[in-house]
Amino acid sequence: MKRATRILHDPYTPPAGFDAPQPGVYKASTVFFPNTQAMRERNWMDKSGYTYGLHGTPTTFTLEERISNLEGGTYCTLAPSGLAAIVMVDLAFLKAGDHLLLPDNVYGPSLVTAKGLLRDLGVSYSTYDPMQPASLRAALTDKTRLVWLEAPGSVTMEFPPLDELVMIAKEAGVVTALDNTWAAGLALCGFDLGDDGHGNALGVDVVMQALTKYPSGGGDVLMGSIVTRDADLHAQIQRVHMYTGIGVAANDAELLLRSLPSMTVRYQTQFEQALALAQWCENRAEFSAVLYPTLEKSPGHVHWKRLCNGTGAGLFSVLVDARYSAQQVDRFVDALKLFKIGYSWGGPVSLVVPYDLKEMRAKPAWQGTLVRFSLGFEALEDLQADIEQALKTLVSP
C-alpha cells in the first residue's frame, strides 16, 4: 500500500475509555458505515446510530440531550440561531390556509417572519394581548394551528399568565410553543405550569430557547433549541430539519457544551446584579417605570411569582420620563461607558439598547422611550456609577 493510501487508512485506533470533563468534539459530513446493509437500514430520525453529519454526531447528540434535560423535555432539535428555531417551529405546524397567533410583545423578528415568509406561504397571523387571556380566546379561529407564548414579552417585559393562556389554547386543540429564552430553562419549566384545576398537568407542547443567550453566555455563539415531550411533535420538527437542511456545526455545539455547566451560576449572578440595579433605578426621577417582572410594580409580577422559582434573567428595561426627548435618551445611551450598545444578552459584558415603543406595539401601554439593560459581570457599583454619570446628559442643555 502506498503512503498516500496508508495515511488515510491507518489501522490505529485510540484506546477506548477516555473520560474528561468535556466530551470530545466530533466533526463530520461523511460518517462511515461498516457495510451496505447497515447503510440501508440506518434511520436518520433516531439516535441509535449515525447517518450523516447534518443529522447529528456524538457532540450534537450530547448537547441535545443536555438541553432536553435543562428544559424538562424529552426530545431536542438544534438550530443555528434562536430565530432559525422559531422559524422551524412555524414551518413544522403551519401550512397554507392556517392561522398563527403571536403575543403583541413577541420577539420582533418572529413577527417579521409572520408578515413576510409565512404570509408568502399562505399563512395568516394575528396578535393577542398576552396579559388578557380573553384576548387570546377572542383571537382563536378554526384555522388557528399554532400559538406562540413568551415570558416575559420582549423589551417591555410583561409577564403573562402563561398557565391561563395555555389552558385556552389546549381547549381549542391548538399547538402551543413557548419562547423560554428569558427563563432559560432555569426560572421556569414550560412543560410544568401547574394543573388545569381538574387535576390534569398543564404545560406547553414545544419549548424553544435562544441558546445564544444564557447557555452560550459568551456573546460569541448563535444557536437555538426546540424541545418537546411528544414524539410525534418532535418528528414534525425533525422533518423540517430534513426538508431545509438546517443543522448546527460541531464547533458551535462544543462551545455550548463548554459553557452550559456554569450557566446556573452565571444566571443567578446576573439576576442579582439586575435586581439590585433595577431597584436603584426605581428611585431615580428620570425613569417613570422600571420593567422587570421580579419587581412588585412591574406588569405581571404576580404571574412571575406564581410560575417562576424566584429567579429571572439579568435583563430589564426602564421607561425614561416623557419630559425627555428621544434625542436626549440617545445622548444618555451614548454617554454610557461600561454598558456597550448592542443586541442580545446573557454575555459577560453589560449591554444597552434604546427602543421606540411607538414602532413596536399595536397599542403601547406607555409613552416615551424605553432603554433596555442587560447585566454582565462588571462590579455593580461601577455599573451604577456609569448610569449615574450618563444621566447627567439628560439635564444638560
Ligand X SMILES: *Cc1c(COP(=O)(O)O)cnc(C)c1O
For ligand X, the closer of residues 60 and 154 by Cβ is 154
Nearer to ligand X, 374 or 390 (CB): 374
Give the single-character DSSP code of 260.
G
Q: Return the residues of window 162-191 that contact ligand X according to CB under 6 A.
A: 179, 181
Using the minimum distance from each CB to ligand X, give the nearer residue, 181 or 270: 181
Closest by alpha carbon to 314, among 370, 383, 388, 258? 383
Terminal alpha carbon distance of the chain: 82
**294 lies in the site for ligand X, by CB under 6 A:** no
Of 150 and 386, which has the nearer Cβ to ligand X? Answer: 150
Contact present, 146 and 126 (Cβ < 8 Å): no
User: By C-beta, is 105 or 369 nearer to ligand X?
Assistant: 105
Here's the x/- map for ligand X, 312-351, by CB under 6 A: it reads as: --------------------------------x-------
Question: 272: buried, middle or exposed (CB in 10 Å: 19+, 13-18, 0-12)?
Answer: middle
Comparison of 60 and 324: residue with beta carbon closer to ligand X:
60
- 3 state DSSP class of 335: helix
User: Which residue has its beta carbon closest to ligand X?
Assistant: 82
Nearer to ligand X, 73 or 224 (CB): 224
The cell numbers describing 58, all together, are 456524538
- Determine the interface stretch with ligand X among 198-206, 209-217, 285-293, 376-384 (rule: CB under 6 A): 209-217
Give the contact letters, 47-86, x = binds to ligand X (CB under 6 A), - = no. Answer: ----------------------------------xxx---
Query: What is the DSSP pairing of strand 144-150 with strand 99-103?
Result: parallel
**259: three-class secondary structure by DSSP:** helix
Question: In the block, which residue shows the cell 378554526?
Answer: 142
For residue 232, the tally of other CB atoms under 10 A from its CB is 7
Binding mask 221-260 for ligand X (x = CB under 6 A): -x-x------------------------------------
CB environment 312-331: b (16+ within 10 A), e (fewer): bbbbbbbbbbeebeeebbee
Touching ligand X, residues 105-134 (CB under 6 A): 107
Least distance between ligand X and beta carbon 191 (Å):
18
Helix H or strand E segment including 146: strand 144-150
237 with 88: CB under 8 angstroms? yes
Residue 154 lies near ligand X (rule: CB under 6 A): yes
Q: Which residue ranges make up the site for ligand X (CB under 6 A)?
A: 81-83, 107, 154, 179, 181, 210, 212-213, 222, 224, 344
